[in-house]
Structure 1
């Protein structure tokens, strides 16, 4: 974390609690040796794994399967100059176990764009970090920037 930047670090438990409150995040991966960011809906698995449901033929699946990716979600209150951001970094894998796939069909995330052949991608939570800003400029008695 950066010293004296007005943010406080969040522990893993708090990060996962906050992630469970929001329906959409962003997956960060590499495409043609450049960073790419895509918004996705998601759900958390029991141990904090991030689950995505998407088309088996999607470019996203081809780009991330077996790769280390980052997943970020946040919540911002622009008027109150506050919010939080959480990043989960880990390896993205396709769920290949038939029993696990069936469980996720019933209880996992629902794709906002359904397709005939859907797969589940799981991001293993190898590193979970987060930070929160409360009060922002108003915390220091400064006028908000227009």
Structure 2
């Protein structure tokens, strides 16, 4: 038993370290990925949907169909957006959580809108204005 504990202890030094990120780093990282998960609460509980995102002028921009559940349910609502990038081989990566209020606008795609991967009409723009942006990086040990 003592040997196993020693091995676990020595291996712990090789494990990644969790580091908090400042807000500007969070924005920089989000701009590199283009995909996140928008989260809101509907009558059945939390909903998480993968979305294409763009970062623009202190906001997150998402395009969706005007008839989508997202367009119907998130306007003027508190939502969260989670964005991450992970390397499973090295067990490193980062995660950013944006919390704020979503606004849905039915308009032609603004210049700062992302290109949605799925086909079909995306005539609604969801603009998330953050109230809090936090992030963490799982970094290789030094």
**TM superposition score normalised by structure 2:** 0.81
**CA deviation profile, 1:91-113 (whole Å, cap 9, x unmatched):** 000136xxxx4571x44212223
SS at match of 1:108: coil
Q: What corresponds to 1:144 in structure 2?
A: none
- Runs of 4+ displaced beyond 6 Å: none
Higher strand share: 2
**CA deviation profile, 1:31-61 (whole Å, cap 9, x unmatched):** 21411111011101122x1100011111111
Q: What corresponds to 1:6 in structure 2?
A: 17
Within-5 A mapping of 1:90-101: 90-95=100-105, 101=107
Within the candidate set 53, 72, 91, 2:82 is matched to 72
Structure 2 CA distance for aligned equivalents of residues 87 and 66 of structure 1: 19
Q: Cα–Cα, structure 1 residues 41 and 132, in superposed 2: closer, same or farther, change >3 Å? A: same
Instruction: Report the structure number with the largest CA radius of gyration.
Output: 2
Structure 1 CA distance for aligned equivalents of residues 49 and 132 of structure 2: 20
Structure 2: unaligned runs, 5 residues or longer: 1-15
Shift of 1:114: 4.0
Structure 1: unaligned runs, 5 residues or longer: 141-146
**TM superposition score normalised by structure 1:** 0.79
Q: What corresponds to 1:29 in structure 2?
A: 40
Structure 2 CA distance for aligned equivalents of residues 92 and 41 of structure 1: 15
SS at match of 2:130: coil
Structure 1 window deviating more from structure 2 (87-96 vs 75-84): it is 87-96
